[in-house]
Amino acid sequence: MRISSVPILLGFLLSACSSDNGTNPVQVDRRQIGEVDNPAEAAAPESLRVAFIAGRGQRRDIYLRDHGGAASVTLTQESLNYSMLSWSPDGTQLVYVLDQSEDRIFTLEADGARLERLVTQEPGSYFFPAWSPDGQFLAYNQILTGEDGTGFNYEVFVVSAAGGDPERLTENPALDLDPQWSPDGASLAFASDRDGDFEVYVINIRSKQTLQLTRNEAGDAGPQWSPDGEEIAYTSFGDGGSDIFVVDRDGGVPQRIDLELPGKWTLRWSPDGSRLAVMAGQGDRPDQGDTEIYLVDRQGGRQENITLNPARDANPQWSPQGQSLFFMSDRDGDTDLYRYDLQSKTTTNVSDNGDEVSEYSIAPF
C-alpha cells in the first residue's frame, strides 16, 4: 500500500472503533442458518444495555440506556473529549480514552457508582483499547516517537485492567494497529505495515511469536475473530475499492466474501458465526456518500441491505443474542444510534437526545 493510503486506512480504523471490539463473550447459537428461517423467532426477547458517547465537538458525555427505558442516564461528571468506548466482558465496566491535550485510558463503573480508574499512568497518544475475554487485561495501541522527537510508530501493549506496568508486545519501526483478542485470550490479531504493505498478523501473548496471515499488494486491516476463534475476517484495500476476506487463524488461502459494491469497510460477525454485518457503499472511502448496512452469509449466497436509506448508515454491531443489529446514522439530521429488529424488520432511534452520537457499545448481557 502506498504511504498516501495510510491516512485513509487510519481513518477507516478510527471510524470503525465506535463499534464493539468483538471480545465480549456471546451466547453462541450452534444452529445453522438454514434450520430456522429467522433465528430471532426462536429466541427469548433480549434485555439490552447500550452505552454511547454523544455531544458536540470536544464536549461529550458517556450515556447509558436500557433498551425500552424512558431516558438515558449520564455516567460522566463533566463534558470532555471521550472516545473509544467498550464494555467489559462481565458488563460491569466501560473502558474509554480521554483526550485532554494528551490521552489516557480509563475504566468506568457502569452500576451508577461512577468510579473512574486510571489504567495508563503516563500521558501519551493511546488508541483501540480492547478487553481480554476474561476482563483481566486491556490491549491497546500507543504512539511512540524517536528520541529526537521525530518519527513515530504504533506499538501494541497489554496492561492489567486495574492499572500497573504495561507489557510491550510489538517492537519495530512500523505501524502495528488495532489489536483484537482471540476468543481464548491467547493471541491478538492486528494490522501492520512492517512488510511494506498493511497485512494481518497474529501474535501469541506469552511467547510473542508472530504469524503473518496475509501477503498481497493491497492493504489488509480491521481483523475480526469469528466467535469460535477459528477464522479471522478483514478488509482488503486496493486502488479499485475494498473487499472482505476470511482466513484461517493459522493461515492459508483467504476466501473472498461476495458483496458487489466498490467499498466494504466495517464488519462484524453474528454471534453464531453464520453471517457478517458489513458497512458498504459506492464510494472508495467510508466517508464518501451513502453507506448502507448489509447482512452477508459467511458461506456466500444470501445478502440483505437492512438500512435502505439515502443517508450515512455506519458501524454495525450485533446484539448479544443476534436478534438485533445496531448502527449509527445521520438519516434524521444529527448522527444518532438506531436498532434494527431482525424479526419485525423495524428500525428504532435509541439515542435521540439532541446531540451527535460519536461512538457506542452494547453490553454483553
How far is it between the farthest Cα atoms of the chain?
61
Q: Give the pLDDT score at 231.
A: 98
C-alpha cell at 67: 433498551
Q: Are 228 and 183 in contact (CB under 8 A)?
A: yes
- How far apart CA 129 and CA 179 sit, in angstroms, is 8
- CB atoms closer than 10 angstroms to residue 137: 19
User: Which CATH number does the domain housing residue 63 bear?
Assistant: 2.120.10.30
Is 139 in contact with 95 (CB distance < 8 Å)? Answer: no
Q: What pLDDT is attached to residue 200?
A: 97
Q: What is the pLDDT of residue 29?
A: 35
Distance (Å, whole) CA 15 – CA 7: 12
User: What is the identity of the amino acid at 300?
Assistant: G
Res 285: pLDDT: 62
Query: Residue 34 has what DSSP assignment?
Result: G
Q: Can you give the residue range of the structural domain that contains 126?
A: 3-362
pLDDT at 365: 83
The answer for residues whose C-beta is within 8 angstroms of residue 115's C-beta and 6 or more apart is 108, 109
What is the pLDDT tens value at each position of the chain, 365 positions in all? 333 445 455 555 555 554 455 444 333 332 232 333 444 444 566 778 999 999 998 999 999 998 666 678 899 989 999 999 999 999 999 999 998 777 899 999 988 777 788 898 787 899 999 999 999 999 999 998 866 666 688 999 999 999 999 999 999 889 999 999 999 999 999 999 998 999 999 999 999 999 999 998 889 999 999 999 999 999 998 766 788 999 999 999 999 988 777 688 789 999 999 999 999 886 656 666 689 999 999 987 688 999 999 999 999 999 999 999 999 999 989 999 999 999 999 999 999 778 999 999 999 98
DSSP state for residue 80 in the 8-state scheme: B
Q: How many CB atoms lie within 10 A of CB 226?
A: 20
Choose among 324, 326, 328: nearest CA to 359. Answer: 328
Domain count, the chain: 1
CA dist., res. 327 & res. 336, Å (int): 9
For the whole prediction, is pTM greater than 0.85? yes
Predicted local confidence at residue 145, as pLDDT: 80
Residue with cell 513515530: 152
d(CA 94, CA 151): 32
